[in-house]
Amino acid sequence: MADIRSVHALMRAHDRHEAQLDTLRDLLTERLAAARAELAQAPAALRRTHPARRRIGELEAALDRMERGLYGICRGCGAFIEMSVLLHAPQDQECAECRRASERRAGPRRAAV
């Protein structure tokens, strides 16, 4: 009986994980559409350097990582990135601890960005 309960617990955890991924996929897709619309409204001469262009690349890369099963894994330490971080900035590739370490190494200029 314990085996059945553990299988059910795993299935529930899997379902929760899938629901979280769906939420994050929707969030990434919405933000990507908004960034593309923002870039489309920018004057043609400014589109190559517009901040929305960088955001588009980051959001597309996040969706690609999701497709490859690598989404939500910190590029610094390999740990899972906290859901609260991903809900705030779904394109992030670092956990909170690695981001703080990166900002300390970069100094005050990068931390303010």
Model pLDDT for residues 46-87, shown as the tens digit of each residue: 889 999 999 999 999 999 999 999 999 999 999 999 999 999
State whether 37 and 86 are in the same domain: no
Q: In this predicted structure, what is the pLDDT of residue 2?
A: 66
**What's the total number of domains in the chain?**
2
Judged against a pLDDT cut of 90, whether residue 10 lies above it is answered with no
State whether 56 and 10 are in the same domain: yes
State whether 65 and 99 are in the same domain: no
Domain of residue 53 covers 1-71
State whether 5 and 58 are in the same domain: yes
Residues in the chain: 113
- Residue 10, H or E segment: helix 2-41
Taking CA atoms, 7 is separated from 15, 16, 18, 20, 21, in Å, by 12, 14, 16, 20, 21
State whether 82 and 41 are in the same domain: no
Q: In this predicted structure, what is the pLDDT of residue 113?
A: 45
State whether 78 and 51 are in the same domain: no
State whether 7 and 24 are in the same domain: yes
